Amino acid sequence: MDIKHPDYNNSIVNLACSVLKHYGAENHHETLTIFDNYLKKNYKNVVVMLLDGLGVDALENHLDKGSFLRRHFVSEISTVFPPTTTAATTSIESGLTPKEHGWLGWSLYFSEIDKIVNAFINTLGDSDEKAADYHVAGKIIPYKSVYDIINETGNATAYSVSPFGTNKVSSHIEMFEEVERLCNLAGNKYIYAYFPQPDAAMHEYGCYSSEVTSWVKELNEGVEKTCQVLKDTIVIVTADHGHINLNYRFVSEHPHLLKMLVRPISIESRATCFYVKEEFREMFKEEFYKAFGKDFLLFSKAEVLEGNLFGEGQAHRKFEEFIGDFLAVAIGDQGIAYSPKSKRFLSNHAGMTKQEMMVPFIVVESHG
């Protein structure tokens, strides 16, 4: 496997900071130079379209070189760590690193309610049970969105087109139609468009399946048709992460490890946080490697805090709690689940491989 570290000088965070700078808003990190050069042309509409899971690996495996998206491919850029929707889309929508915004992954432990919460959907574990009668992550780790920041400048109007954005859509066809409609309105605009495919199909059928090929081809066609009718618009197509087919290992199959834990694992199956009882912290690393071997790197809390795996900047006040005592990062084709009863996917992400970490920077300029 190709181990790939996040590059926070050439990432989706920098892409978001280019957008902020372009509209005269404050940006907290370096911009993406390659994007800045395009933005100098001052298009009326700047569209960033994020297709969930469409990493460089997927692009190359599901589309031929003559396809629209591959013809307009400019370069590969890095996503954030962990390469997962919760962390990455929040970075695109805030201009902050995961270390700063705190939305590190699918499930996070909140001491305020002493529960591990699925951050986006506000549920517990694999059930539909609500974590609380309010949105836990939304209340405890809020952030200011790029849309609000841009709208406050008065230099443009910003929109979010997605199943849960400012402009809600329920299909990719609706998403493309809404982007086209907004682009035709008067005035300067920033439009972020998000769609949850091909990620959902990859989870269910595996990342190289025919079902995924169908989705990628359909999205390729949709982007092409939309760009053909736009005027005075630049469209960037990118992704939040790539994917990898995987097998799972189970904590429950290692009773000696299980007894060391304070609570179940959290964050992601390929970026897994362990809360370890104090008396076992000295021996945990050795026991972990005995159980899970060379498919993972294991970092202590101190090592995570000293490094910049989750990005640069001021750590969110919840960051230290969220990362637990140890963080296991997948570098092979394995994931960690609590038990065989846990929800599992054929293909997943959040590890430190090239397939998961590298996303496309695709540019389509529509003049006229």
**In a shared domain, residues 55 and 186:** yes
Distances (CA, A) of 252 to 271, 322, 342, 351: 17, 22, 10, 21
Regarding whether 192 and 45 lie in a shared domain, the answer is: yes
Do 38 and 163 sit in the same domain of this protein?
yes
Report how far residue 106's alpha carbon sits from residue 181's, in angstroms, rounded to the nearest whole number.
33
- One domain for residues 187 and 239: yes
Report pLDDT for 304: 97
Q: What is the pLDDT of residue 1?
A: 66
What are the 10-residue block averages of pLDDT along the chain, 368 residues in total? 92 98 96 98 98 98 98 98 98 98 98 97 94 97 97 97 96 98 98 98 98 98 98 98 97 96 97 98 95 94 96 97 98 96 95 98 92
Around 96, how many Cα atoms within 13 Å sit in the side-chain half-sphere?
22
H/E stretch holding 50 reads strand 45-51
The pair phi, psi for residue 236, each rounded to 5°, is -105, 130
Q: Domain check: are 62 and 166 in the same one?
A: yes
- pLDDT at site 2: 84
Position 84 scores a pLDDT of 98
Compute the C-alpha angle 54/46/15, nearest 5°. Answer: 55
Q: Within this chain, do residues 162 and 298 fall inside the same structural domain, yes or no?
A: no
Cis before 83 (ω within 30) = no
Assess whether 165 and 202 both reside in one domain.
yes
Residues with Cβ within 8 Å of 69's Cβ and at least 6 positions away in sequence, in order, are 59, 63, 220, 223, 224, 237, 360, 362
Q: Using the 8-state DSSP alphabet, how is residue 117 labeled?
A: E
Say how many domains are in the chain.
2
Peptide bond into 82 cis (omega under 30): yes
* Residues 200, 63 within the same domain: yes
Residue 324 is predicted with a pLDDT of: 98
19 and 91 housed in the same domain: yes
CATH number at residue 212: 3.40.720.10
Rg of the chain taking only CA atoms, in angstroms: 20
Q: Are residues 326 and 360 in the same domain?
A: no
| Confidence (pTM) | 0.97
Beta bridge partners of 117: 108, 124
| Residue 157 and residue 52 share a domain | yes
Q: Are residues 170 and 77 part of one domain?
A: yes
Compute the 3-state secondary structure of the chain and give helix, strand, coil in percent, each to the nearest 5.
35, 25, 40
pLDDT of residue 367: 85
Sequence letter at residue 26: E
Which range marks the domain in which residue 156 is found? 12-103+143-244+354-366
pLDDT confidence of residue 293: 86
